Amino acid sequence: MTRLYATETGKQIALSGLLPETAHYLLDYVARSHSLLSSMLPKEGKGAGDLDQFNYCLMNAALTSTEFEGSNRTRIVPYGFDETTANESVVKYSASLAEAPWEAHRRAANAATLLMNWLEGVDISALEDTYPDLRAGPIQALCRDLAWCLAGLANILASATRPNLSANERPACMRQMPPQALQALHRLPAFIRLLIRRLLAGLPTPALWLLELEPAPGGRAVSRNEAISLHQINLSSMENLRRRANWEELIRILAATGASDAKARAHEIQTMAHAWHGKRRERALKRQLQRLEEADQPLLKEFYDSREKKFEAAFEALMKRVGIPCTLFDSGQKPGAFDYLLRIEGRPPVIVECKTKQGDHLVDLNAARTVLSSSEQYGHQGTFCVTLCQPGVDPNVLESLQACTRLSIAETHDFAEAMTRLMTNSLTAQSFHDWLTQPGQVTSEMLLAYTNSATEPSD
């Protein structure tokens, strides 16, 4: 008798809220175009890729899906995009699109082109005049709908390309794919999630973190216009924004954006930048402690509070608690050695390097990537590496590491979320490994594709 069962990919399709037809349409597209899409991503030694092309193709694919087209569509593309106009982007990328000819899907082509300008920070009032009767509200609604659709794809794709799945557990379009192709597809979710963040913010990558700054009670968050202006004069990095030498330039640009008291506004933004990471950590710790047994809470508190050797001891204590074998590699006898080697049953070993900074200082680029050279020095050229950052990583580091396919960055509060789920039995050790070994930054939001319980928080 044949026994029916739910695959991990099927569960993610159900959780996404997408029409099943949409999920399979988008999976079919990325599967048959895996080589082309992967070539658009940055890769060490092979150039910066073409993320503009990647973003355009993914947005266009979503907009031509049954979620946005056809009699059963659940989302609407504004009618103004039907206008016949010159469209250089779609002509340039036409050979890479999900549908041909593109003229049969003009609304999707035009919408994707306009949104490329939105991603670069073009003022929304300028975008309103691009097509007839197009207004800011429908543009922003389209961004939200498209982000929702792509978020579903990112989680489904992350699940479908997990290395432990048998061929029969993968979507039909991926069952015959060789391991190298699946590994290439496994990189895509990180870049799809970056595209989602940019769609929701309407900003280039280096400026995204500015919209996450939290004002004090009665204060005002950083606006998109302010973030764009800061980015244009190279003040969107945390280092440059906080540097005293840039104080006068910061006041000048804020005055130009219309601040009534530019000096006070500059002080407010710098204060928010200093407090940004600490507030995120405080919120995460509070939520995590509420879900843990009382006996486990001191382990997590020590993990958040400690630095240097004490942080390594706290890391070891958590590994012991969740039952993950952890070997200390840097015993003090090996110059330049990495810190730990994790061995999880049924998975390749993982190297972990702990990097800590004092106070509210964050791990910089050189510290974040030193584990790569250390692993090579000690004969682990092919072993995946993780840099665990305490209290966190400078937000502008991550763009510089996009080409690294053998490195992930984990901030303490995100790693602690994974530990919390392991201690509450909603995450397996193997799923933890699959989450941890995704190139780029691994975040608590990405755990949704790996968690046993759908009721766990995503942030």
Residue type, 365: L
Contact present, 260 and 392 (Cβ < 8 Å): no
The per-residue pLDDT for range 87-125, each reduced to its tens digit, is: 999 999 999 999 999 999 999 999 999 999 999 999 999
Residue 195 phi, psi dihedral angles, 5° rounding: -60, -40
Residue 381 phi, psi dihedral angles, 5° rounding: -60, -30
Strand, coil or helix: 340? strand
Contact present, 229 and 257 (Cβ < 8 Å): yes
Fold for domain 292-449?
Restriction Endonuclease (3.40.91)
pLDDT of residue 79: 83
- Spatial separation of the C-alpha atoms in residues 56 and 89, rounded to whole Å: 8
- For 129, which DSSP code? T
Q: Tell me: pLDDT of 452 over 70.
A: no
Q: Tell me: pLDDT of 332 over 90.
A: no
- Spatial separation of the C-alpha atoms in residues 108 and 68, rounded to whole Å: 9
Contact present, 445 and 151 (Cβ < 8 Å): no
Q: Tell me: pLDDT of 1 over 70.
A: no
Q: Tell me: pLDDT of 360 over 90.
A: no
For the chain, give every domain's residue range: 8-201, 205-278, 292-449
pLDDT of residue 181: 94
The per-residue pLDDT for range 392-430, each reduced to its tens digit, is: 999 989 899 999 999 999 999 999 999 999 999 999 999
Rounded average pLDDT over 223-247? 93
In this structure, CATH architecture of domain 8-201: Orthogonal Bundle (1.10)
Q: Tell me: pLDDT of 230 over 90.
A: yes
pLDDT of residue 267: 95
**Would you place residue 80 in the very low, low, confident or very high pLDDT band (cuts 50, 70, 90)?**
confident
Contact present, 422 and 430 (Cβ < 8 Å): no
- Spatial separation of the C-alpha atoms in residues 241 and 247, rounded to whole Å: 8
Residue 287 phi, psi dihedral angles, 5° rounding: -65, -40
Question: Which of 296, 295, 282 is CA-nearest to residue 420?
Answer: 296
Strand, coil or helix: 57? helix
Q: Tell me: pLDDT of 455 over 50.
A: no
**Would you place residue 156 in the very low, low, confident or very high pLDDT band (cuts 50, 70, 90)?**
very high
- Spatial separation of the C-alpha atoms in residues 92 and 90, rounded to whole Å: 5
**Would you place residue 132 in the very low, low, confident or very high pLDDT band (cuts 50, 70, 90)?**
confident
**Would you place residue 3 in the very low, low, confident or very high pLDDT band (cuts 50, 70, 90)?**
low
